[in-house]
Amino acid sequence: MDKTINNKAWFLVLPVFLIVAFSAVLPLMTVVNYSVQDTFGNNHFFWNGVGWFKELLDPSTDLGDRFLNSLGRNLLFSAIILAIEVPLGILVALSMPREGWRVAACLVILALPLLIPWNVVGTIWQIFGRPDIGLLGYTLNKLGFDYNYVSNSFDAWCTIIVMDVWHWTSLVALLCYAGLKSIPDAYYQAAQIDGASRWAVFTAIQLPKMNRVLLIAVLLRFMDSFMIYTEPFVVTGGGPGNSTTFVSIELVKIALGQFDLGKAAALSLVYNLIILIVCWVFYTVMTNADRERPQTTGGA
């Protein structure tokens, strides 16, 4: 629908502009500024051009090595949790009741993990996994597993993956449930009449109709997991060693730990760019999928 021009609306947006300018745009510009400069402290800055960016992408340098390794860890992490959360979320959505009071109960239970502040999630699992006072850690060790997320990097990875699955599968499940509910009953009746097996109903009716919802779920989960910071930081702090050091954690170490503002600024810009590109790819795929559908309107 074409909007007609009404310039007075801009005044309403002005306060928001100003706030965003101060809290986001100016700091962003500062970061860009830092990313092209170098400093030895004492507020002496000198021009470095694209130096930091070149270093970032060069695995032989320390910066590049750390960045590319942490990027690899991020990608591995995102791939694993997507591979677990999406099928699990679909399964949960399929198992949920469709009507009656049980629906409300299930929705509330599913929503609970999503409501918890992220650092609290991290803290819960940090304590939960401790071999001395944590229920999980203690039980696993009692059963004979040598579980210690502080010293063993495999255990650390398992812990943060399980934590993320616990935290976020509900989102995928809720989105898929919404998608499932929108399928008219007639499709299931037709499938019954056609003698379709449960699996055939899933592949021929439910999955195709959940397409768009699944795409959104995958996009959201990829973005969030790629940007993850709080939860793993609280649980493992990036350790043991740097086995769970993701890009965000690396970034904070460089910026606030080493106070290497130039390197950190460049890293954060590249990080931002990667996420933007991924979003753009998803968006294009989604809108292309929309255009493929035949147009149907109620009278044109």
Partner 1 sequence: MARIDLVDLAHSYGGGTYALKPMTMTWRQGGAYALLGPSGCGKTTLLNIISGIVTPSQGKVLFDGNDITHASTRERNIAQVFQFPVIYDTMTVGENLAFPLKNRGLPRDKIAARVGEIAKLLDLTPYLDRKAVRLSADAKQKISLGRGLVRPDVAAVLFDEPLTVIDPHLKWELRSKLKALHQALDLTMIYVTHDQTEALTFADTVVVMHDGAVVQSGTPEDLFARPAHTFVGYFIGSPGMNIVPAGVKGREAVVSGHVIGLNRSYDNLPAGGKIEIGVRPEFVHVADPAPGLLSAQIERIDDLGRVRFARVRIGDVKFAATVPNGVAVPEKTVGLVFDPAHIHVYSDSLLVEGRA
Partner 2 sequence: MSITLDKVSRDVAGASWIRDVSLTLERGTLSVLLGPTLSGKTSIMRLLAGLDKPTSGRVLVDGKDVTGFDVRKRSVAMVYQQFINYPTLSVYENIASPLRVQGVARGEIESRVRDAARLLKLEPYLDRTPLQLSGGQQQRTAIARALVKRADLVLLDEPLANLDYKLREELRTELPRIFEESGAIFVYATTEPSEALLLGGRTICMSEGRALQVGETPLVYRRPETIEVAEVFSDPPLNTVGIEKKNGSIFYSGGERASVTGLYEGLSDGAYRVGFRAHQLEVANASPGRHAFVTKVSVTEITGSESFVHLTREGYNWVAVLPGIHEFLPGQELDAVLDPNDLFIFDQSGRLVAAPAAR
9 binds partner 2 (CB under 8 A): no
Q: Is 294 a binder of partner 2 (CB under 8 A)?
A: no
Q: Which is nearer to partner 1, 25 or 289 (CB)?
A: 289
Instruction: Give the separation between CA 98 and CA 150, rounded to whole angstroms.
Output: 43
Question: How far apart (Å, rounded) are the C-alpha atoms in residues 264 and 243?
Answer: 20
- CB half-sphere exposure, 188, CA atoms < 13 A: 9
Which of partner 2, partner 1, none does residue 229 bind (CB under 5 to 8 Å by kind)? none
Residue 109, token pair as written in the block: 């239970």
Cis status, amide bond into 184, omega within 30 of 0:
no
The answer to whether 300 contacts partner 1 (rule: CB under 8 A) is no
146 forms part of the interface with partner 1 (CB under 8 A) = no
Nearest approach, Cβ of residue 2 and partner 2 (Å) = 5
Question: For partner 2, which residue of 6, 7, 42, 60 counts as binding (CB under 8 A)?
Answer: 6
- Alpha-carbon span 295 to 240, nearest angstrom: 55
Instruction: Out of 84, 196, 218, 227, point to the residue binding partner 1 (CB under 8 A).
Output: 196
Work out the burial of residue 129: count CB atoms within 10 Å of its CB; fewer than 13 is exposed, 13-18 middle, 19 or more buried: buried
Interface map 151-190 toward partner 1 (x if CB under 8 A)? ---------------------------------x-xx-xx
- Minimum CB separation from partner 2 for residue 5, in Å? 8
Is residue 293 at the binding interface for partner 1, with CB under 8 A as the rule? Answer: yes
Residue 7 binds partner 2, judged by CB under 8 A? no
As a whole number of angstroms, the distance between CA 98 and CA 94 comes to: 9
> Whole-angstrom Cα distance, residue 156 to residue 243?
8
C-alpha to C-alpha distance for 254 and 259, rounded to whole angstroms: 6
Is residue 300 close enough to count as binding partner 2 by CB under 8 A? yes
Query: Are residues 153 and 237 in contact, defined by beta-carbon separation less than 8 angstroms?
Result: no
Point out which residues bind partner 2 (CB under 8 A): 1-2, 4-6, 297-300
Point out which residues bind partner 1 (CB under 8 A): 184, 186-187, 189-190, 192-197, 200, 203-205, 208-209, 293-294, 296
